[in-house]
């Protein structure tokens, strides 16, 4: 019987080494752990972690990538919006996307503990995303690299993702 978080994480690590496909939120619920636990149990070549302080610079950079898919996944709903990411600014404790834009709202940047750059298979297709995690290790939202007309990941966005990760690493975020 698996009783402790350490035991659950070890079972999770073994499971993901064998097969990392599937909804990470579903896997977290099944294993009674956080999304952060699931991500960090994936093979190390799949993910790169940055401190939540990267929230604002990442959002600023994403505003220049073109159309992407933003997903908010809770236990009750999965909302997907395909759109460009608007530029924004901080105000009244929130990061606020600017202007009249399909993707709007108010994001608590200071609640972001981790920014994870993630590449992995999902439903037999390669995916690439940036996952914003809160202080509980759960998803705030995810931004997925777009796909071209052939359904392949957009190479320009993958390159931007790689360069942004390099820049954040150099800056020590």
Residue carrying structure tokens 């809160």: 134
CATH number at residue 90: 3.40.1570.10
> Alpha-carbon distance 106 to 114, whole Å?
18
pLDDT tens-digit readout, 7-51: 888 888 888 887 878 899 999 998 889 999 999 999 999 999 999
- Position 103 in a domain: yes
Residues ≥6 apart with Cβ < 8 Å to 42: 16, 20, 118, 120
Our measurement of the distance from residue 165's CA atom to the centroid of its chain's CA atoms, rounded to an integer in Å, reads: 13
- Position 124 in a domain: yes
CA distances from 79 to 82, 90, 125 (A): 10, 24, 20
pLDDT tens-digit readout, 63-89: 999 999 999 998 899 999 999 999 999
Rounded to two decimals, what is the model's pTM?
Answer: 0.92
- Position 115 in a domain: yes
Based on the structure, what is the number of domains in the chain?
Answer: 1
**Which range marks the domain in which residue 158 is found?**
45-171
């Amino acid at each position: 019987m698996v009783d402790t978080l350490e035991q659950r994480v070890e079972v999770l690590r073994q499971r993901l080494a064998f097969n990392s496909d599937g909804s990470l939120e579903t896997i977290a619920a099944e294993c009674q752990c956080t999304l952060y636990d699931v991500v960090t149990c994936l093979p190390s070549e799949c993910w790169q972690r940055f401190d939540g302080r990267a929230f604002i610079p990442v959002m600023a950079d994403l505003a220049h990538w073109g159309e992407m898919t933003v997903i908010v996944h809770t236990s009750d709903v999965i909302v997907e919006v395909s759109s460009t990411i608007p530029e924004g600014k901080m105000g009244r404790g929130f990061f606020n996307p600017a202007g009249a834009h399909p993707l709007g709202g108010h994001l608590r940047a200071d609640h972001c503990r981790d920014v994870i750059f993630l590449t992995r298979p999902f439903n037999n297709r390669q995916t690439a995303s940036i996952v914003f995690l809160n202080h509980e290790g759960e998803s705030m939202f995810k931004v997925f690299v777009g796909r071209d007309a052939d359904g392949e990941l957009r190479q320009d966005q993958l390159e931007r993702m790689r360069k942004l990760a390099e820049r954040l690493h150099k800056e020590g975020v």
